[in-house]
Amino acid sequence: MAVRILTLVTNGRGGTGPGHSAVAVNDKVYSFEEFLGANTSTKTSGWKIFGFAPYLKKNGHRPALVQWLTQVQEKRVLAYINESIRDDDDYGTSGVCSQQVSMAIDYGLPKRNFNPRGFDTPYGVYHHARNKGLVQREEYFWPNRAELNALAWARIANKLKREYPLAYKHSKNGWTP
Q: Has residue 20 been placed in a domain?
A: yes
**What is the reported pLDDT for 173?**
60
* Verdict on whether the full-model pTM lies above 0.75: yes
Burial class (CB in 10 A: 0-12, 13-18, 19+), 114: buried
Residues 98, 122 contacting (CB under 8 angstroms): yes
CA distances from 96 to 108, 143, 154 (A): 19, 26, 27
For residue 35, the enclosing domain spans 3-170
Q: Has residue 84 been placed in a domain?
A: yes
- Report the C-alpha dihedral over residues 98, 60, 15, 149, rounded to 10 degrees: 180
Domain count, the chain: 1
CB-based contacts of 40, cutoff 8 Å, min separation 6: 88
**What is the reported pLDDT for 170?**
77
Q: Has residue 107 been placed in a domain?
A: yes
Residue 68: phi and psi, rounded to 5, are -85, 125
Measured in Å, how far apart are the chain's first and last C-alpha atoms? Answer: 34
**What is the reported pLDDT for 107?**
95
Q: Has residue 74 been placed in a domain?
A: yes
Q: Has residue 71 been placed in a domain?
A: yes
Q: Has residue 26 been placed in a domain?
A: yes
Q: Has residue 176 been placed in a domain?
A: no
Return per-residue pLDDT of the chain as tens, 177 residues. Answer: 699 999 999 998 889 999 999 999 999 999 999 876 554 555 558 999 999 999 999 999 999 999 999 999 999 999 999 999 998 888 877 888 999 999 999 999 998 889 876 667 999 999 999 999 999 999 999 989 889 999 999 999 999 999 999 888 877 666 765
